[in-house]
Amino acid sequence: MSSFTSLKSLNLSRNRLTAVAAELFALKTLENLNLAENRIKELPREIGQLARLKKLLLDKNQLERLPPEIAVLKNLEVLECGDNHLTVIPREIGDLAALVELTVEGNRLKELPEELGRLRDIKVLKASRNQLGSFPTSLLTGTKIARIEIEDNPFTVDQFRELPGFTEVWIFPP
C-alpha cells in the first residue's frame, strides 16, 4: 500500500474483513475510509495516524468499543459506527471539533457522554435502537444540532421535552 501515497478515498466495505491491516495506517493522505459491512471486532489505536480523515464509516461490523485515539482525528466530519456491539462511546469523542454527523444507532449504548456538548458544529446525531435511558443535555445547548434520532430507546419523548435547551420535537412514523 505504500505506493498509494496520494490516495484520498478507500472503500473496503463488504469484504468480510475481521481486522484492519497495519499497512492501512501508512496512507497518510486518506480522507475517506469505508470499512462498513465487515466483521471487524476492534479498531486499532493506530487509527489516530490517519490525521486527514474526514469521513470514517464503520457501520455493520462487530465493534465492541472505539479507541480513545479516535480523538486525534481533528478533521473528522462524519463518523458512522451504527449496527455494532458498542456499549460505550469514549469521552474523548468531544475532542472531534470538526464532527458534524455522528451515527451510533443499533448498538448497546445505555448513555451518551456529556462531552458530546463540546462538539459545537455537530448537526446530526443518530442514536436510535440503543438502550439509552437518558440524554446529554449539553448537546441541546451551545451546539448546532439540527437533527436527533433517538427512537426505539427507553428514553421517552416526554423525558426529552423536559431537558434544558429543548425547543421542538418532530415525530415521524416509521
Instruction: Name residues whose C-beta falls within 8 Å of residue 95's C-beta, 6 or more positions apart in sequence.
Output: 71, 74, 115, 118
Measured between alpha carbons, how far is 136 from 110 in angstroms, rounded to an integer? 12
Residues whose CB falls within 8 Å of the CB of residue 91, separated by 6 or more in sequence, listed in order = 68, 113, 115
pLDDT of residue 74: 97
How high is the pLDDT of residue 139? 85
pLDDT attached to residue 98: 98
Average pLDDT score over the chain:
90
Q: Which residue has the higher pLDDT, 150 or 94?
A: 94
Mean pLDDT of 139-162: 81
Residue 74 three-state SS? coil
Q: What percent of the chain has pLDDT over 90?
A: 73
Please state, in angstroms and rounded to a whole number, the distance separating the CA atoms of residues 109 and 136. 13
Question: What's the pLDDT score for residue 140?
Answer: 82
At residue 160 the predicted structure's pLDDT band, cuts being 50, 70 and 90, is low
Domain layout of the chain by residue ranges: 19-161
Transcribe 37-73 into DSSP letters.
Answer: SS------GGGGG-TT--EEE--SS------GGGGG-
Q: In this structure, are residues 26 and 6 in contact, taking their beta carbons and an 8 Å threshold?
A: no
For the entire predicted model, the pTM comes to 0.91
Residue 131: per-residue pLDDT: 96
Nearest to 95 by CA among 121, 65, 72: 72
Which band of pLDDT confidence, cut at 50, 70 and 90, is reported for residue 134?
A: confident
Work out the number of other CB atoms within 10 angstroms of the CB of residue 35: 25
Interval 5-62: pLDDT, tens = 799 999 999 999 999 999 999 999 999 999 999 999 999 999 999 999 999 999 999 9
Higher pLDDT, 166 or 126: 126
Instruction: List all residues 6 or more positions away from 130 whose beta carbon is below 8 Å from its beta carbon.
Output: 104, 105, 106, 107, 108, 109, 110, 152, 153
Structural contact between residues 27 and 56, judged by C-beta atoms closer than 8 angstroms:
no
Fold of domain 19-161: 3.80.10
Q: Calculate mean pLDDT across residues 153-173.
A: 66
164 secondary structure, DSSP code: T
Give the per-residue pLDDT at 10: 97
